[in-house]
Amino acid sequence: MKKLILTTLLSMPIILTAQIDRSIQPVAGKAPVINIKDSETFTLDNGITVILSENHKLPRVSFDLFMGSDPRLENNKAGLADMAGSLILSGTSNKSKDQLDKEIDYIGASLSADKSSITLSCLTKHMNTGLGLMSDVLLNANFPESEVERIRNQSKDGLISMKSDASSMANNATVKVNFPNHPFGEVMTEESLTSISRDDIVNYYKTNFTPKGSYLVIVGDITKQEAIAITNQYFSSWSGNQAYKNDLSFGKMAKGNQVYFVKKPGAVQSVVYITFPIEMKSGDKNQLPLTVLNGILGGGGFGTRLFQNLREDKAYTYGCYSNVTVTENGSWMSAGGNFRNAITDSAIIEILKEFEVITSELVKDEELSLTKSSMSGNFGRSLERPQTIARFALNIKKNNLEEDYYKTYLQRLDAVTKEYVLAMAKKYFTAKNCNIIVVGNEEIIGNLTKFDSDGKVDLLDPFGNPLKEGKPADITKEQLYSNYISAVTKTQNQKELAKKMKKLKSYESKTELTNPQVPAPFVMMSYWMSPKIEAEKVEGMGMVLQKSYSDGKKGYTFSQGNRKEMTDAEVAKKAKTAGVFPELFYKELNLTLTGIEMVDGKEMYVVKQIDDEGESFIYFNKSNFLKEKMVAIRKQGEETVESSVTFGDYKDVGGFLFPHTTSIGFGPFTLSGKVTSIILNKKPDLSSFK
Amino acid sequence: MKKLLLSTVLLALGSTVYGQRKIDFVEYDLPNGMHVILHEEHATPIVAVSVLYHVGSKNEVADRTGFAHFFEHLLFEGTVNIGRGEYSKIVERNGGTLNANTSQDRTFYFELLPSNKLELGLWLESERLLHAKVDTKGIETQRSVVKEEKRQRVDNQPYASFITEMSKRMFLNHPYNWVPIGSMEHLDAAQEEDYVNFYKNYYVPSNATLSIAGDIDIAQTKKLIDSYFASIPKGQALNLYRDFVNYSDGEFETKYKIAKSKFDAKQFMASKNPEAKKLIADFQNKPIEIKRTQKDTEAIKGIIKEEIQDNIQLSGLFMGYKFPEQTHPDSYALEMLNDVLSGGSSSRINKTIVEKKQMANFAFSFNFGLEDAGMGIFAAIASNGINLDDLQKEFDQQIDLVKNELISQEEFEKVRNKFENDLISSNATISGISENLADNHVYFKNTNRVNTQLNEYMKVTREDIQRVAKKYFTQDTRIILHYVPKAK
């Protein structure tokens, strides 16, 4: 009954208010006053600056302790600081890691650390327990050897996975090209990881985690009196050397646009970053106008030029953004996104165009006011989080800003003119000296040459280092094959070779393949019988896993219990190169000698073979012409996959050289093989292939 | 001894005060069926305006998967009164931000605005509900954008297809079979009538919850809501109005046997012509039936084990169990069980599989709760060279342990403390509050659950946790996916 009345009452305004004109955007009410609460600052005798932002909305509190040291070059130990950071919570001289984890989780708190900070967040009622654990870590972290090795192994796997993550590879390339000889440009590799010792880590911690120059930021449900008491209780006994200060460069600007490419096999999209360093350190008076400029270009939001052009107009991407990162130790711009292979180059054209326009023309009033409104809205919303207030206070201290820097933020934002924005663009941005980083499918490299002012795309490895480059071959394809054949057949000329091959009637070999994950070895048997019979069989776990047979007239393959007859064309193709040394028939294949490359530490001739299944590469050792490796890249639908076979330990059998070790790899999965027997000129038993 | 004492002290603390901040709110229905929830707080001069439409990918037909999410993108294109591309610009120009997301169960739109722009937010959302308008350019653009979204978020991301692969095998006879991103072919096949029908069937007041939180005055806000939302026609009269707006004279007359000119174009609902009046009245009384899906309780048939090749370097193991819907009473115990297994560094899975045995770089479990069913998922990225079957045995050992033995009192207290911490910390932002309120109304039919949730967790006993482990971790019916690097 009550509800009925309510409904009736509510339905009345329909008639009364149906007058609103929906075609008119409503006008805003009176602008609310934005209040920025003050935060408190005090120092401890050992040099910690404490910043407190009280907020009693929720009964919780957080403590962020930031170190004051600048980053330093790590050279051949790149990644040291990060590794030390991930080991800080590995135990103390009082508590094992297990105890520490248990006690933190027990109070529902979170304690985390990285290379330059330790953070605790918990309910206020658990504050003392939490701080006890935090200060134990700070004062007594002891980096047990076992944990160092565990994190090393985990990092090793991390580096492996990174090779399938396009964004990480693009980030590596970005810092490498923008910041050579600068701590920002150092990226951990497999080698640098190996050379980091526990002593390095302990030393890093000792010299960088020092109270001098550090900041402790406290936010939440705590009073100033309590804060003074607990900081003295838990942090005053901490001591250490002066913070390390490093005068770092602004990074290196490219001369002309430079394209850097990182290969990601099978990629369906490219990650594109157009990037350059910016000569600015945080706290610069131009930082705010530069942020306005970036806001118009692509700094978040739906209304930016990059987003409107590349997504809303061209539909090239889910999102295209630009970011300006300004820090105390170096700053840079990066603009880009993820784009499907076919339009990657078109996307780069559009992004560069936007850089060109914004560095040469005044922005529109409408854009400027949109960005300013959006930024002032962001500013207002950010005040909802008490962390923001504390961050303001921290920035003021760290960057020597005026005390009212944030209180006058909105006024200063409002004062930015379009002329000033253009001046910022001319001073800091460029469309002509950009590093253009692309991580993607190799098939698109050709489309990128046009962007490089030197007309050459630099290839980088996943860590952002130059990909070991090849040089042109010093012999012809014919010479290479003739040298290889003469090496493995131990003959000097065509006549001798023909005579020796004529006597070879059959071949049989047995190879055992193992992998730590596979309990018992696989056994691979290979057969050839003059002239065209070839057969192969892989057995494992008491079963035939794979089998193939062809004799020049017919053939089949057998895999996972299914037998499939070969087509006439497939049989003919196999017959073309049937024999112990298929290289004798190299003229039948579509081969190119592409050059000499450093592979696995050796100089090798590289031969590229193309057939209808895809591409493969064959590597011959330059010093003895022996075949060392084959890598096949096969198309699978829209994508490509890679597999490889290596050949080693060549030994004489009946006057010929045969490899006696091999490995077969796909992705990180590798089977290692040993050839246990090779029998020549004894008719093999092929009954199991009938 | 000392340790025991400590536990007792903390237990005492934990069991006496559940300091979850009370969220005050008012809620009511508009005559057209729209549900309204309002929360007033003045700490910061901002307001969150959100509308939850109770439609997600589970309402899609099997040959139009991905449609609900695609449609969400289209609803940013523009309206009768807002030009193409203007919708988001208006928000940003007014110092706000906006976004939306689509799940299996719902589509959620929101604006965060300075509090003096509340009316703007209401106007924008009422336009979305009343006047959505999409042209061909908009459709084609968003179709491509959504495809890029899929490439970026799923196809080009290592392991990212696992929810898709899991759902496909977990829900054979329920639309959870597919995930919100859906199929690109289906999007290509979408026709105009699909858009029109989706809008008419699901984007209606009786399927929508308007939730507003922040620096508002409740009485004033109610008045504005009356203007912008209570005036939206009820029942099928809304679709009659939409046809009136979109159809040509001829089309309209053919369909309704009455000329458009008989209606009042300015004040449609107040049309004076008797014929028009009657039609409107008839259509107002015709309710819009929302097609709801059924709970999915079908068990997995045996052990479904499959290998999936992906562009990855390290193998991954993903294991799934059928869980009940998120509103099921067992959900609380299941979530606490998950925390024993996988919450924090000291959790069982992290301690054994990652740290002690070092068989995985990451290993964790999580509960994926939905309206009609749920999934319990175990996931691990194996260390290089570790066999996935061996990794699975480690998970199984942990599962057997929680099934066969009560968790320790200390572990139990840890989990309770964790939930207390998490729930106190939730509802820290007004956008979070507006979303939680709407979710609790729609899924739990109990908006006040935002204030009582912690009590439900505190009722769970150690025995409950063991009971649900036994009930739902069914080793003979589950899905096991092996993610391996792509080979030839």
Q: Residue A668 sits in a domain of what CATH number?
A: 2.50.20.10
Last residue of a domain, one of B235, B252, B278: B235
Which positions ≥6 away from A619 have C-beta within 8 Å?
A597, A599, A604, A605, A606, A607, A627, A628, A629, A630, A631
Sign, CA torsion A581/A587/A592/A596: positive
The CA-CA-CA angle for residues A464, A467, A473, to 5°, reads: 170
- The amino acid at B150: K
The answer to whether position A220 is within a domain reads yes
Is residue A132 less than 8 Å (CB to CB) from chain B? no
With an 8 Å Cβ cutoff, are B417 and A107 in contact? yes
Residues B218 and B278 in one domain: no
**CA dist A235 → A241, A663, B212 (Å):** 15, 57, 44
Instruction: Please state, in angstroms and rounded to a whole number, the distance separating the CA atoms of residues A353 and A335.
Output: 12
Predicted pLDDT at A470: 66
Give CA–CA dist B185/B65, Å, rounded. Answer: 9
**What DSSP state is assigned to residue A310?**
I
**From the CA of A663, how many Å to the nearest CA of chain B?**
15
- If asked whether residues B209 and B252 sit together in one domain, one would say no
- Tell me whether residues B344 and A105 touch, CB distance under 8 A: yes
Question: Has residue B442 been placed in a domain?
Answer: yes
Per-residue pLDDT at B278 exceeds 80: yes
Q: Is residue B227 located within the same domain as residue B244?
A: no
B residues 192-211 lying closer than 8 A (beta carbon) to A: none
Residue A72 in domain: yes
**Inter-chain residue contact A123 with B351, CB threshold 8 Å:** no
User: Between A and B, how many CB-CB pairs are < 8 A?
Assistant: 284
The beta-carbon neighbor of B30 closest among A10, A266, A643 is A10
**Comparing C-alpha atoms, which of B253, B281, B213, B293 is closest to residue B51?**
B213
CATH for A407: 3.30.830.10
For chain B, say whether A26 makes contact (Cβ under 8 Å): yes
Comparing CB atoms, the residue among B29, B151, B430 nearest residue A269 is B151
How is A590-659 classified by DSSP, letter by letter? -EEEEEEEEETTEEEEEEEEEETTEEEEEEEETTT--EEEEEEEEEETTEEEEEEEEEEEEEEETTEEEE
- Tell whether A193 and A287 lie within a shared domain: no
Q: Considering its fold, how many domains does chain B have in total?
A: 3
**Residue B3, token pair as written in the block:** 């340790």
Residue A456 in domain: yes
Which chain A residues have a beta carbon less than 8 Å from that of B148? 269, 315-318, 338-340
Tell me, yes or no, if B101 comes closer than 8 A to chain A by beta carbon. Answer: no
Q: Which domain holds residue B272?
A: 237-286
Selecting from A106, A384, A385 the residue whose C-beta is nearest the C-beta of B414 gives A106
What residue has token string 């700490």?
B43
The answer to whether residues A502 and A570 belong to one domain is yes
* Model confidence band, residue B368 (pLDDT cutoffs 50, 70, 90): very high
Residue A640: predicted pLDDT:
54
Whether residues A285 and A380 share a domain: the answer is yes
Of B142, B152, B429, the CB nearest to A269: B152
Residues A106 and A57 placed together within one structural domain of the fold: yes
Q: What is the structure's pLDDT at A601?
A: 63
Residue pLDDT, tens place only, B420-435? 999 988 888 999 999 9
List strand residue ranges (DSSP E) for A92-241, in order: 110-114, 117-123, 215-220
Residue A471, SS3 per DSSP = strand
Gap from A682 CA to chain B (nearest CA, Å): 33
Same domain, yes or no: B334 and B469: yes
My answer on whether A51 and A125 are in the same domain is yes
Task: Say if residues A173 and A165 touch (Cβ distance below 8 Å).
Answer: no
Look at the alpha carbons of A437, A438, A443, A447 in this order and tell me if their dihedral is positive or negative: negative
Interchain CB contact of B8 with A (< 8 Å)? no
Partner-chain residue, chosen from A10, A643, A668, that has the shortest CB–CB distance to B384: A668
Q: What residues of chain A, 391 to 430, have a C-beta less than 8 Å from chain B?
A: none
Within an 8 Å CB–CB cutoff, is residue B233 touching chain A?
A: no
Task: Give the DSSP H/E element, type plus range, for residue A513.
Answer: strand A506-514
CB contact under 8 A, B424 and A123: yes
Q: Which of B345, B356, B431 to mutate to test the interface with A (most CBs of A within 10 A)?
A: B345
What is the tens place of the pLDDT at every residue in A81-99? Answer: 999 999 999 999 999 999 9
Q: Is residue A285 part of a domain?
A: yes
Using a CB–CB cutoff of 8 Å, tell me whether A4 touches chain B.
Answer: no
Within a domain: A22: no
Please tell me whether residues A356 and A410 are part of one structural domain: yes
User: Least CA distance to B309: which residue of chain A?
Assistant: A641
Q: Which residue of A has its CA nearest to B42?
A: A384
Residues B275 and B407 in one domain: no
Instruction: Give the minimum alpha-carbon distance from A82 to chain B in angstroms, rounded to a whole number.
Output: 17
Residues with Cβ < 8 Å from B468, sequence gap 6 or more?
B330, B333, B334, B337
Does residue B5 lie in a domain region? no
Q: Which residue of A has its CA nearest to B93?
A: A370
Confidence of residue B385 (pLDDT cuts 50, 70, 90): confident
Q: Each residue of B393-425: pLDDT tens digit? A: 999 999 999 999 999 999 999 999 999 999 988
Here the ipTM equals 0.84
- HEC string of B191-258 equals CHHHHHHHHHHHCCHHHEEEEEEECCCHHHHHHHHHHHHHCCCCCCHHHHHHHHHHCCHHHHHHHHCC
From chain A, the residues in CB contact with B45 under 8 A are: 32-34, 380
Which CATH number is B95's domain given? 3.30.830.10
- Which helix (H) or strand (E) segment holds residue A206: the answer is helix A198-208
d(CA B168, CA B481): 12
How far is A423 from B377, CA to CA, in rounded Å?
A: 54
Answer yes or no: is A321 within a domain. yes
Q: What pLDDT score does A450 carry?
A: 96
Residue B313 has its nearest CB partner, among A163, A268, A303, at A163
CA B139/CA A248 separation, integer angstroms: 50
Chain A, nearest residue to B138 by Cα = A312
Q: Do A669 and A526 fall into the same domain?
A: yes
Residues A455 and A491 in one domain: no
pLDDT at A641: 65
Cβ-based burial of A225 (10 A; exposed 0-12, middle 13-18, buried ≥19): exposed
Distance CA B289, CA A631 (A): 60
Does A639 touch chain B if contact means CB atoms closer than 8 Å?
Answer: yes
Is residue A311 less than 8 Å (CB to CB) from chain B? yes
Q: Last residue of some domain: B235, B264, B295?
A: B235
Whether residues B139 and B184 share a domain: the answer is: yes
- Residue B2 domain-assigned? no
Q: What is the pLDDT of residue A669?
A: 65
Q: What does the pLDDT look like over B70-80, one tens digit per residue?
A: 999 999 999 99
B201/B312 same-domain check = no
Question: Which residues of chain A does B161 touch, with a Cβ-Cβ cutoff of 8 Å?
Answer: none
Domain for residue B190, yes or no?
yes
Whether B429 sits inside 8 A of A6 (CB atoms) is no
Residue ending a domain, choose from A235, A270, A292: A235
Confidence band, pLDDT 50/70/90 cuts, at residue B20: low
* A384/B44 touch (CB, cutoff 8 Å), yes or no: yes
Q: Is residue B65 in a domain?
A: yes
Q: Measured between CA atoms, how close is A159 to chain B, in angstroms? A: 10
Among the listed residues B28, B71, B92, the one whose alpha carbon sits nearest the alpha carbon of residue B186: B71
Domain assignment present for A324? yes
Question: Are A264 and A161 spatial neighbours (Cβ–Cβ below 8 Å)?
Answer: no
Is B282 found in the same domain as B250?
yes
Global model pTM greater than 0.80: no
Give the structural domain span for A277. Answer: 258-460
Q: What total number of domains does chain A contain?
A: 3
pLDDT at position A475, please? 87
How many Å lie between the alpha carbon of B390 and the closest alpha carbon of chain A?
9
Residue B92 sits at the chain A interface (C-beta within 8 Å): yes
Residue B174: predicted pLDDT: 97
Question: Do B77 and B163 reside in the same domain of the chain?
Answer: yes
Q: Kind of pairing, strands B303-310 and B478-485?
A: parallel
In a domain, A173, yes or no: no
Kindly state whether residues A198 and A294 are assigned to the same domain: no
Does residue A411 share a domain with residue A499? no
Residue B166 lies in a domain: yes
Would you call B270 and A317 a contact, using CB atoms and an 8 Å cutoff?
Answer: no
For residues B323 and B446, state if they share a domain: yes
Beta-strand relationship, B316-323 and B478-485: antiparallel
User: Quick one: closest CA in B to A304, which residue?
Assistant: B89
Cβ-defined contact of A18 to B270 (cutoff 8 Å) = yes
Question: At A680, which helix (H) or strand (E)?
Answer: strand A669-680
Give the residue from A460, A491, A521 where a domain finishes: A460
In a domain, B77, yes or no: yes
What is the DSSP annotation of B122-173?
HHHHHHHHHHB---HHHHHHHHHHHHHHHIIIIITSTTTTHHHHHHHHH-TT
- Provide the chain B residues 127-166 that lie in CB contact (below 8 A) with chain A: 127, 130-131, 140-146, 148-149, 151-153, 155-156, 158
Asked whether residue B266 falls in the same domain as residue B385, the answer is no
**Length in residues, chain B:** 488
Nearest chain A residue to B154, by CA: A268
Query: Looking at residue B8, what is its pLDDT?
Result: 33
* Helix, strand, or coil (residue A92): strand
Single out the residue of A180, A196, A247 nearest to residue A81, CA to CA: A196
Q: CA-to-CA distance for B266 and A240, rounded, in angstroms? A: 76
Interface check for B29 against chain A (CB to CB < 8 A): the answer is yes
Instruction: Tell me if chain A has a CB within 8 Å of the CB of B426.
Output: no
Task: Confirm if B66 and B60 have CB atoms less than 8 A apart.
Answer: yes
Nearest to A276 by CA among A166, A427, A61: A427
| Total Cβ atoms within 10 A of residue A620 | 23
Same domain, B83 and B159: yes
Q: Which two tokens stand for residue A520?
A: 């018992």
Per the CB < 8 A criterion, the answer to whether A421 and A361 are in contact is no
Q: Is residue B320 part of a domain?
A: yes
Band of residue B17 on the pLDDT scale cut at 50, 70, 90: very low
Q: Which residues of chain A carry a pLDDT beneath 50?
A: 1-18, 638
A220 C-beta neighbours (distance < 10 Å), count: 24
* Residues A541, A683 share a domain: yes
Q: Do B96 and A377 touch (CB under 8 A)?
A: yes
Which residue has tokens 């770092």?
A: A248
